[in-house]
A and B are shown apart, each in its own frame.
Chain A
Amino acid sequence: MNRSNPPPRPLRSSGGEGKAISRKLLAAAAVAGLAVLLSGCGLANAPIANPQGPVGLAERNILFRAFGIMMIVVIPVFIMAAWFSWRYRATNARARYQPNWLSNKVDAVTWILPALIVIAIAVHVWIFTHALDPYKPLDAPAKPLEVQAVAQDWKWLFIYPEQGIATVNEIAFPAGTPLTLRITSDTVMNSFFIPALGSQIFAMAGMQTQLNLLASEPGRFVGRNTQYSGSGFADQHFEAIAMTTEDFDAWVEKVRQSRTALDEAAYTELAKPSSKVPVTYYSSVEPNLFAKIIATYDSSMAAMAGQ
């Protein structure tokens, strides 16, 4: 190695490179910080950060809890990345240089620490996946309200089997009452989601999925399809309204006043592709319509849909 020649004219002074980097790191950190601060403003009203029912609340809490557990590993990583980059920069002659440094102890820790974190979170996965199973009926004193949801291009049909009514793009239910949804599709795969209340689940033709939700207080929430399904997808949202029991009974009466019945002809018309469909009420519904919709794709599934 030839050190006898004088070093060539430096392109950057030895301290300068470090300073230039730290100035830029500061600028980048400022940008990142700004991005984070801006986020804070939005999160206060975000439906998933601010859920309106116990299912959504449990899901948000598990998000935050897992995040917290992971910070045990993540924050040291950030600190080490910053500290090692700074301290062991080549221009820092005071730092120790150990080119062949190995350590079995540290090696073991690099396996054990992530493993412990993962085990802790995995336990949560088991417990909370079972607790928050969309098919699991909710624990509440009131008797569940059953609604059947059918995804169409590009709207949602809601059938109330017990009340014998149906609506398009508006689902109402009493607050504090569990909402048991049975969901299918009369078109491609969709996904039923009311962000403020929690869990989504796919809607698939010839099949029935189930979802149990609950709104703690009365309120109006946005619901939508989250699975891209064609040109009307962006407009495929609906209103989900949690009401007091009296208001809900009044609403059912209002729907019963509608002059339109959802018979086979009306259904065939409704099922044609359309978007930005206004809220529509049907005072009566073809018997077993939901089962029949499933049966058009799979007669064996329709038998199960009755349960």
Chain B
Amino acid sequence: MFGRLTIDALPLYSAIAAGGALITVFGTLAVMAVITWLKAWGYLWREWFTSVDHKRIGIMYVTLALIMLLRGFIDAIMMRTQQAIALNSDGYLPPSHFDQIFSSHGTIMIFFMAMPFLTGLINIIVPQQIGARDVAFPYLNSMSLWMTAAGAALVMVSLVIGKFSTAGWTAYPPYSGAEYSPGVGVDYWIWAVLIAGVGSTLTGINFIVTILKKRAPGMFMMRMPLFTWTAFCTALLMAFAFPAITVVGVLLELDRVFGMHFFTNGHGGNLMMFANLLWIWGHPEVYILILPAFGIYSSVVTTFSSKRLFGYTSLVWATAAIAILSFSVWLHHFFTMGSSANVNSAFGIATMIIAVPTGVKVFDWLFTMFRGRIRFHVSMMYLIAFIVTFVIGGVTGVLLALPPADYVMHNSTFLVAHFHNMLIPGALFGYFAAVNLWFPKAFGFKLDDRWGRRSFWCWVIGFYLAFMPLYVLGFMGMPRRMEHYDTAAWQPYLVVAFIGAVFILFGLIFLVVQIAVSVKNHAALRDWTGDPWHGRTLEWLTSSPPAPYNFAVLPKVESLDAFHAMKEEGTAYQRPERYEDIRMPKNSAFGMIVGGLAFVFGFAAVWYIWWLVAACAAAIAITVIIRASGDDTEYVMTAAEVEAIENRRFADMAKAPPPDLRHVPVGVPGAPVPGAVS
């Protein structure tokens, strides 16, 4: 009836595990209690959970990402603490626990922090940047969100019922197979990743179609903002790479549940197949994480240098080159698996080649700053920190791409430092910059500047302290994933790394404070015009927050930096003679139902509750069929309703205080003159 689920699944084997479970359970209950007390369930259901509006979906993705960032960080600081003290000692975490923590840290940060973060940002902004009203497939969009949430929920449930995997975030067999990891941990990993992976694959398809088919008139591909270009390449990578991890996850699960021999020791199994398939996904995946950040940096540097992007065409070609080449380098993740010198050289050289377009991008951002007028907004500070710090990570990446160098550095803390050097200053700082840049667009008020700076400095200093020692430890021969060690020379560096983690803890605390303070002061921080930073691209044309339909009249695009061009021409804030009816997709519980069923399906599969697995699969199929056959999917916003919303928008613009143009140079169009009508 309950498969292999028994009372032993509760984490009573250790105080720390029990503590983690209690915090998870009580945290969830506390949030639910607050929502109940605020009587907000109806509001949340109507306005958020059943919404198919890309802006709402995007905000929910980013919210999930920030929550999982905190959860993944707790894993990180627990590991740093353990390693700082575990010289010739067991520390406070036994191997069975430490090993779950390093596995869940990587899994959460990649699949449930970074992926939802970038997907959320792309969701909120890209349709606006291309002058569209929504994505091509709004219901699929909602389903993608809830599938991702279902995967995250499975990882969180593993804290309370059962254990998580100890096989690392890449789950190499045969360690992750049934013989060496017979428990539920690896199954939790597989189902969380497979379910979230479906969400990402569908998001990829959704945005490929949206960007190809939903652009406003005149928005040729070579007039799209760089962020949209990077989103497009990211979507291509998602659609083409995720099938590889879906296949390898299914094959591993077949090995584990049905005793098959794809990757087992013996009986014809071969772990090398897993490594290849996994990294055929895995390398494009890291470009999925970084390309949107590159697009964000292009938005930030142009806006806050008040300058046109240098080398737009080069940047587009560089982005496309990176996306295509990302499928050609996967073997560099296992140079030490015994391939011949010819094979290793070929992949090493292919990896070098990717460094060229990346170098082009760094130069182009610098040359955008050249002869600009730079305002040091918090996002701009993230950009500058990124350029300096990411380049260090790029250097270490090229070093690792030299097979003979990798032979001594593979699996060491040098490798750990390298990829965190790419992910934190590269991807995460980009996402933070995006939050500071686009928060007013999403919510209608800016984020507090002072707390943003405090958070920034803690993150930057924390990053250097936490990861530079790891480069040194790599040279000292320290491998990754060590639960304790007996080389005294390593400890001082691990202590410094722990201090870095504490700085990052404050960076996170200040981020939360920043949001709280901004909400409290939202009236003073209000963005009345929709264009708080004197932006250049179309998302700044909409109100903040935008109307559900984004644009009452689809903009006619005549050049790159379309909004900037409109402001220069004086055509940005024209009102049409008449408004038209707008057809909008209706809210639907479809996405949430499928996501919920997927969560139960995954949980049941982990615990071998086969009748429930079958029931959920059937229910999902039926739900999809019902939704796909339904015709009642739209409602009409009448021209009158649209006009009323637009009237309020122009009235708000008129209420705006005079813009702060102290550092905005002459020639950059400011906000519209109050009361002016074209």
Chain B, Cβ-Cβ closest to A199: B407
Stretch from B281-289, B631-639, B661-669 forming part of the interface with A: B661-669
Nearest chain A CB to B562 CB, angstrom units: 15
Q: List 16 A-B contacts (CB under 8 A).
A: A24-B457, A39-B469, A42-B489, A77-B391, A78-B391, A101-B310, A125-B348, A129-B344, A130-B345, A195-B477, A198-B407, A200-B411, A202-B336, A226-B412, A230-B166, A233-B95
Are B366 and A63 in touch, CB under 8 angstroms?
no
Q: Which of A36, A56, A134 has the largest count of B CB atoms less than 10 A from its CB? A: A134
When each residue 329-347 of chain B gets 1 if its CB lies under 8 Å from chain A and 0 otherwise, what string results? Answer: 0000010111011101100
Is B207 in the interface zone, CB < 8 Å from A? no
Contacts of A67 in B (CB 8 A): 395, 399
Q: Which residue of A17, A113, A207, A231 contacts B376 across the interface (Cβ within 8 Å)?
A: A17
Interface size class of A (residues with CB under 8 A): 35 or more
Q: What 9 A-B pairs are tightest by C-beta distance, nearest first?
A: A114-B359, A195-B477, A90-B663, A199-B407, A226-B411, A110-B363, A231-B95, A132-B404, A46-B475
Nearest chain B CB to A202 CB, angstrom units: 5
Contacts of A63 in B (CB 8 A): 399, 402, 405, 408
Is B356 in the interface zone, CB < 8 Å from A? yes
Q: Which residue of A28, A77, A95 contacts B457 across the interface (Cβ within 8 Å)?
A: A28
Count of B interface residues, CB-CB < 8 Å: 111
Q: With A85-B384, A88-B372, A188-B174 in contact, do A1 and B670 touch (Cβ < 8 Å)?
A: yes
Chain A, Cβ-Cβ closest to B181: A230
Q: With A89-B374, A201-B338 in contact, do A66 and B174 touch (Cβ < 8 Å)?
A: no
Q: Which residue of B336, B402, B412 contacts A125 across the interface (Cβ within 8 Å)?
A: B402
Are A90 and B371 in touch, CB under 8 angstroms?
no
Is B471 in the interface zone, CB < 8 Å from A? yes
Nearest chain B CB to A23 CB, angstrom units: 11
Chain A, Cβ-Cβ closest to B313: A107
Are A111 and B356 in touch, CB under 8 angstroms?
yes
Are B469 and A38 in touch, CB under 8 angstroms?
yes
Q: With A90-B373, A110-B363, A111-B360 in contact, do A74 and B411 touch (Cβ < 8 Å)?
A: no
Q: With A39-B469, A101-B307, A124-B402 in contact, do A110 and B367 touch (Cβ < 8 Å)?
A: yes
Nearest chain A CB to B596 CB, angstrom units: 35
Are B465 and A31 in touch, CB under 8 angstroms?
yes
Contacts of B489 in A (CB 8 A): 42, 45
Q: With A78-B391, A85-B384 in contact, do A99 and B314 touch (Cβ < 8 Å)?
A: no
Is B606 in the interface zone, CB < 8 Å from A? no
Chain B, Cβ-Cβ closest to A36: B468
Nearest chain B CB to A267 CB, angstrom units: 17
A-facing residues in B462-504 (Cβ within 8 Å): 464-465, 468-469, 471-477, 479-485, 487, 489, 492-493, 496
Are A47 and B407 in touch, CB under 8 angstroms?
no
Are A206 and B476 in touch, CB under 8 angstroms?
no
Is A297 in the interface zone, CB < 8 Å from B? yes
Contacts of A99 in B (CB 8 A): 306-308, 372, 665, 667-668
Stretch from A115-123, A138-146, A172-180, A258-266 forming part of the interface with B: A115-123
- What is the CA–CA distance of A66 and B349 in the complex, to the nearest angstrom? 13
Is A255 in the interface zone, CB < 8 Å from B? no
Is B20 in the interface zone, CB < 8 Å from A? no
Are A42 and B476 in touch, CB under 8 angstroms?
yes
Contacts of A122 in B (CB 8 A): 348-349, 352-353
- What is the CA–CA distance of A77 and B366 in the complex, to the nearest angstrom? 8
When each residue 136-173 of chain A gets 1 if its CB lies under 8 Å from chain B and 0 otherwise, what string results? Answer: 10000000000000000000000000000000000000
Are A28 and B460 in touch, CB under 8 angstroms?
yes
Contacts of A303 in B (CB 8 A): none
Q: Which residue of B175, B266, B395, B408 contacts A59 across the interface (Cβ within 8 Å)?
A: B408
A-B pair count, CB < 8 Å, reads 326
Are B465 and A35 in touch, CB under 8 angstroms?
yes
Are B481 and A233 in touch, CB under 8 angstroms?
yes
Nearest chain A CB to B278 CB, angstrom units: 13
Nearest chain B CB to A163 CB, angstrom units: 26
Q: With A77-B387, A226-B479, A228-B99 in contact, do A66 and B405 touch (Cβ < 8 Å)?
A: yes
Is B168 in the interface zone, CB < 8 Å from A? yes
Q: Which residue of A3, A14, A100, A191 contacts B336 across the interface (Cβ within 8 Å)?
A: A191
- What is the CA–CA distance of A35 and B265 in the complex, to the nearest angstrom? 44
Q: With A35-B469, A114-B359 in contact, do A59 and B485 touch (Cβ < 8 Å)?
A: no
Contacts of B369 in A (CB 8 A): 84-85, 88
Contacts of A130 in B (CB 8 A): 341-342, 345
Chain A, Cβ-Cβ closest to B103: A228
- What is the CA–CA distance of A118 and B398 in the complex, to the nearest angstrom? 9
Contacts of B395 in A (CB 8 A): 67, 70, 74
Are A118 and B479 in touch, CB under 8 angstroms?
no
Are B384 and A204 in touch, CB under 8 angstroms?
no
Are A47 and B476 in touch, CB under 8 angstroms?
yes
Contacts of A205 in B (CB 8 A): 174, 265-266
Q: Which residue of A59, A88, A207, A234 contacts B484 across the interface (Cβ within 8 Å)?
A: A234
Chain B, Cβ-Cβ closest to A25: B384
Are B266 and A110 in touch, CB under 8 angstroms?
no
Q: With A78-B391, A84-B366, A230-B180 in contact, do A59 and B461 touch (Cβ < 8 Å)?
A: no
B-facing residues in A218-259 (Cβ within 8 Å): 222, 224-234
Is A5 in the interface zone, CB < 8 Å from B? yes
Contacts of A111 in B (CB 8 A): 314, 356, 360
Known: A99-B307, A193-B408. 9 other contacts (CB 8 A): A28-B461, A38-B492, A42-B476, A66-B405, A73-B359, A77-B362, A121-B402, A135-B340, A204-B272
Is B571 in the interface zone, CB < 8 Å from A? no
Contacts of B659 in A (CB 8 A): 2
Chain B, Cβ-Cβ closest to A223: B477
Q: With A118-B356, A200-B410 in contact, do A90 and B375 touch (Cβ < 8 Å)?
A: yes
Nearest chain A CB to B95 CB, angstrom units: 4
- What is the CA–CA distance of A297 and B267 in the complex, to the nearest angstrom? 7
Is B311 in the interface zone, CB < 8 Å from A? yes
Chain A, Cβ-Cβ closest to B662: A7
Are A101 and B355 in touch, CB under 8 angstroms?
no
Q: Which residue of A56, A187, A227 contacts B408 across the interface (Cβ within 8 Å)?
A: A56
Q: With A133-B341, A188-B180 in contact, do A32 and B464 touch (Cβ < 8 Å)?
A: yes
- What is the CA–CA distance of A118 and B352 in the complex, to the nearest angstrom? 6
